[in-house]
Structure 1
Amino acid sequence: MSDVIESGRLHPVTVVRKAWVLISVIGWFVFDHRDIFAKVADKYGLWGPAALAAVMTTVFIAFVFASWRSTAFTLTADHLDYRYGLVWQVQRRIQLSQIRTVDIEHPLFGRPIGVRAMTFSTANGPTKLAYLGSRAANRLLEAVVVRTGASSAKRSDEGVVARVSATDLALSILLDAEIIMGLCIGGATSFVPFIISGHALTLGLALPWLRSAWHATGKRFPQYHGWIVREVEAGYRTESGLFNKSQYTWQRDRISSITVHQPLLWRSRNWVKVTGGIVGHKDLLLVPVTSRAQAEKMLVRIYGPEALKLLDNPVRVSPRARWCTLWWRGCAVSFTQDFAAGWRGLFLKQTVTLARITRVLGVHITQGPWQRLHNVAHVTLELPGGSHVSAVNRNTEEATQIARTVRSSVVRTALAGVPIARRATR
Structure 2
Amino acid sequence: MDSGQLAWLMIATALVLLMTPGVAFFYGGLVKAKSVVSMMMLSFGALGLVAVLWVLFGFSMSSVESSWSFAGNPFADFALSTTTANDPTGEATIGVAFGATFAIITVALISGAIADRAKFGAWMVFVALWATIVYFPVAAWVWGGGWIYNLGSMMFPDSGVEVIDWAGGTAVHINAGAAALALAIVLGKRVGFAKTINKPHNVPLVMLGGALLWFGWFGFNAGLTFAPLGEEGNLQTGLIIVNTMVCPAAAILGWIIAEKLKNGKATSVGAVSGAVAGLVAITPACAHLEPLWAILLGLIVGVACALAVELKWKLGYDDSLDVVGVHLVGGFIGTVYLGFFAIDTGLFMGGGVQQLVVQVIGAVATFVYSFVVALILGFAIQKTIGFRVKNEDEIAGIDVSVHGEEGYSFEPNGQLTR
Q: Which has the higher strand share?
A: 1
Structure showing greater Rg: 1
TM-score (norm: length of structure 2): 0.26
TM-score (norm: length of structure 1): 0.26
Q: Which has the higher helix share?
A: 2
Higher-RCO chain (CA-CA 8 Å, sequence separation at least 6): 2
